[in-house]
Structure formats: C-alpha cells, structure tokens
Structure 1
Amino acid sequence: MPRGGSARGCCGGLCGLPFTVGLVVLIYWAIFQPHHIRATVDSATLSNLTVSHASSPEAAVSYDLTVSLRLHNPSVRVDIYYDAISAELRFRDAVLGAAANDTSPSVFFQRRKTSEVVKMEFDYGGPGGGVTVARDVAGDLAKETAVSLELDVHVRVRYVFKMFKLRQKPRIRCSISIPVKTEGRHRGFGGTVAASGDRCSVKY
C-alpha cells in the first residue's frame, strides 16, 4: 500500500509539471504581451512586363518587380529574431513566381518598437525567365491598366524576452496595385507605386 501511494504521488507530480509550465508561460504572455508584427508596403516597382500568348492553353509572363516591405515590432518589452523570410507573388490566385533572390536582409534581429525594411526582388524579365500561366490569366494581366498583385510572405520568428523564447510562423499578405504604362516599343509595361499606408494582413 505505501508503495502504491508513492507511485500515485509521483505520477501526480509528473502530470502536474506540464500544467505548471503552461501556467508560467501564460502569465508571462499576459504580462509582457509580445504583440503581432505589423507590415506595410513602402514601395513597389514593376518593369518589363510582357505577355507572350501561345497556341497552347498556357502563356508566358515576363516581368521584374522590386518590393520594399516594412516590418514593425510594436512590442514594448519583447525583441524579435527573424530566422527566415520567403515570398511569393500572385495574380488572381495564379502564382507568378517566388522571390528570385534572397530577401535583403533575410535574417536579422529587431528590437522592440522599431521597424526594418526588407527588400524583395522578383527577377523574371530575362530571356527564358518568364513564368507560365493559363492563357486567360495572361490575357487579363495584359489588359490591366493597374496591375493588382498579392504578395504572400512566410516568416519564421522568435519572440525573445530575457530567458523566454517563443517561436512563431506568421504569414503576411499584402495587396499591391501598380498603375502601368508602356515603357517602350519593345520593353513592355511598367510602373511604380509608393507607400499607400494600407497595412498588410498578418496571421499566425
């Protein structure tokens, strides 16, 4: 009987440990409140946009796009480590390609109440560097006077306060509308948009 009681006490202690740890984390979160990051598009420059229609059900789209994304840490006490950033561009649910080069910077440390601008480049304007999409999507893109694009950004971050660390994988979505005009007889279309002040959506 004594040994059975000791076993039950030990089991109860082990089961209570996760609860205690979870309670400590909850109290920490409530006190220090590591707020979700905020994101806005500072600027976006589109150039060499060309659409090549083919006889097949698919067509090729070539373009160069540079986006400056501002990331803000609104937390009062919590710093953030950005461990990885990847970006993808879409037009009406059609994927126009991932960021051709690593974001700059791709890894960085952000103190509380500060902002950092991340540059993303989509280099699909060279020979053979186009993206294959459905013909109807390419046709709609060619008709646009203001190209409406969606920037889809995946981020891996660590919220850090002293000895406490919390890992998260937020997803950032930004809507970008760029008025375009003819750049030249053989250069396609292009345009630039400055910051609109519209905040991107951030989901965890």
Structure 2
Amino acid sequence: MATKSYPRHSSNNGDSCCCSRCLCGCFNCCCKCLCSCIGYFFNYVLSIICNIIIAVVIFAVLFWLIVRPNYIKFTATDTSLTQFNFRNNNTLHYDLSIKIAIRNPNRRVGIYYNNIEMLAFYKDVRFGSQTFGKFFQSHKNTSFLNAVFRGQKVIPLSSDQILELDKETKNGVYAIVVKILLKARFTLGLFKTWEGNPMVRCDLQVPLKSGNEFLATNCDWDDKWWLFR
C-alpha cells in the first residue's frame, strides 16, 4: 500500500510575523505607559502649583480683611535753609536741615526699618545724602528723622534752569526734592513679611531762614505696595 507524502509547510514566515506583531504591541504599550506617566506627573505638578496659588491668595485676602493695613505717612514738618547760592562755575553752597515725621497709623502692624537713606536733589541733581540706622516702629506711633545737608556741589545748569534759579532767589523759596529710600519689612505678631525697597518722594518749597515760613508737606510713595490702601 502506497503511502502518501504531504508537502511540509515552512513556519518561518508565520513566526516572524508573530514576533513583529508582538514587538509592535510591546512598543505601543510602553509608549502609552510612558505618555500616561508623563501626563500624570505634569498634572500632579500643575495641581500643586494651583493649590499653592490659591492658598496664597486666600491668605492675602484674609490678612487684608483682618489687619486692614494703611500706608505709612511721611511728612516734611520743618526745614531750615541758611545757605543756598551758586558761586564759581555752578558750584552750589548749601546748608539745609529737614525734619521728616513718619507716622504708622496701623493698629496691629509694626515696621522694621533695616535702612533709610535720604537724598536731596536740585534740578534733578543730587547734592546731599544721609543714612539712618535701623530701628523698629510700633503700631500707632510717630518717629522723626532729622537730616542735615551741608557742603558744596557742582550742578551744571541750563539757561532755562538759570532763569528758574534767579526767580527762586528773588522769591526766597527753592524747589528742592527729597527722596527717601527704604529697606523695611512689616510684622504682625510672630509673622514677618519679606523685605521691601519702596521709595518716598517729597517735593518741597523750601524758604531761606530769613524769608517765608515753611509749610508742612506730605510726601508721596513712588513704589506702592498693593497690600496697603
């Protein structure tokens, strides 16, 4: 009895296809897993950032509602100008004293002044400066700064500024600007804020001592802190 022989089919092609499909499936799975992990990580970080921002906003609002902080008030209360004249090639000779009152109207907030620098300007040129040491100002308190500017300074003047100077000399009143540079932070109990660097500007009409009387002048904040009203 004759035996039938059946042709053998090679399984190499089938095995390679299976391997390819298996590798592709593993690669797609790894990609999906990696993308899922990255997406989860970014969502987690974003969630933390949003929670921090919300917490800071809530804290700031509650702090403002409870404390109701006010701006510190700076006032030039008195001046003494005994010398203010130009000699020899635009050289200004000056002798000026200024008294500044610092009023903290807040009921709960105190201020640490780490540094205060007072600068005097005439025609946008600085001619004097004085630095004050650090001190603490408690709530509902008024402190005073007494600055003395004495010496000489070369201040080049334009023709228009010379005309203004002549007019001021005739009237006996000079337009002098005082800038107060602060390094300060606020305290409420054990809580202390970051250190700020605001500036206060005082536009003064300063009379010679032998002339008109000085009128007390309120100063303005150049850099206002949004927390205060």
2:196 to 154, 168, 173: 168
For the aligned residue pairs, the C-alpha RMSD in angstroms reads 2.6
Deviations 1:10-45 (A, max 9, x none): 324422223313321332123212211001112111
Letter in 1 for 2:72: I
Residue 186 of structure 1 corresponds to none
Q: TM-score, normalised by structure 1?
A: 0.75
1:84 to 115, 120, 124: 115
Distance 1:90 1:8 in 2: 53
Would the aligned equivalents of 2:77 and 2:217 in 1 still touch at CA under 8 Å?
no
Deviations 1:134-176 (A, max 9, x none): 2543553354221121211111211111233223333212222
Identity of aligned residues (%): 21
More helix by share: 2
SS in 1 for 2:54: helix
Give the number of the structure whose alpha-carbon radius of gyration is greater.
2
**Structure 1 residue runs of 4 or more that deviate by more than 6 Å after TM superposition:** none
SS in 2 for 1:19: helix
More strand by share: 1
Would the aligned equivalents of 2:97 and 2:146 in 1 still touch at CA under 8 Å?
yes
Residue 26 of structure 2 corresponds to none
Give the C-alpha shift of residue 118 in structure 1: 0.7
1:10 to 34, 41, 44: 44
Give the C-alpha shift of residue 81 in structure 1: 0.7
Q: TM-score, normalised by structure 2?
A: 0.68
SS in 2 for 1:85: strand
Residue 144 of structure 2 corresponds to 117
Structure showing greater relative contact order (alpha-carbon pairs closer than 8 Å, 6 or more residues apart) = 1
SS in 1 for 2:203: strand
List gaps (5 residues or longer) in structure 1.
182-189
